[in-house]
A and B are shown apart, each in its own frame.
Chain A
């Protein structure tokens, strides 16, 4: 056997002799793999889904222009309800308070000074 053949045989023997990783090394590699594995991308879904009615109200409020607009609308609604339901005498008191003690208005001349324009000579 010559030197080349001996060396080839030796190298072939080495190639056929795998170096087996220990269980500890395999565990280390797999721990790294687990720690570094990318997580699936999260979509833009809220973490806590809201109940249906609340979600509907929230959407409605956003559609109407936000919380301040909804507050204004609510106040107007309450005022309208008061005007519709309240005793008319209470309303009369309210108008008296605003306009004074007017018992009757039969004629009101809105442009009293314009007569002169229509009078000839």
Chain B
């Protein structure tokens, strides 16, 4: 099927086409899904190389499950977010289980916090936000990223995180409060105080 036609086809139909041997379906699915998968993994792991590996693995699992995909059971994007969440959790557990690596990384990680501060002094707001996200507990970070950056609805997040909707709401609220608290003392570094001064001056 021509790619122009495929651009308007649903993810699920594309996966069926892929399973039936259509050579263009995988390219369209990759273009559509891999930026979201990579973005989510990057924000959970704060490590681009690891996030790329997770993205490749998640997409590989999608290709593998394509022939057995049961239509209408779940959205492909929801399924992928869930796979990425689990892969990132496993990766972080593996990091904690490797004492040698952890010791080797310790100065670097400590430096990362310091560099997060120094980065805040010179970096843009996105870097500051990522540094703040890194300080959240894992489940809060997942919930905040899925809700406020990936823009998913709470029921979908509940499916991804295997939680009830109320638990998701609670995690998101607590995560957001924690983020606000982390960032509160850094308004000047983020440039908000300048904005406020400017608006006061204009006013």
Contact = CB atoms under 8 A, between A and B. Distances in A.
Interface of A: 1, 3-4, 6-8, 10-11, 13-15, 17-22, 25-26, 28-30, 32-34, 36-40
SS class of chain B's interface: helix, strand, loop or mixed?
A: helix
Interface residues of B, number: 46
A21 B126 contact: no
Per DSSP, chain A at the interface is helix
B126 A33 contact: no
B18 A1 contact: no
A7 B190 CA distance: 11
B135 interface: no
A42 B184 CA distance: 64
B64 A13 contact: no
Contacts of B91: none
9 A-B pairs closest in CB distance = A33-B26, A19-B39, A11-B148, A36-B63, A3-B180, A29-B59, A32-B60, A21-B34, A15-B149
Interface string B10-33: 000000001111010011011100
B63 A25 contact: no
B41 to A, nearest CB: 9
Contact of B150 (A6, A15, A30): A15
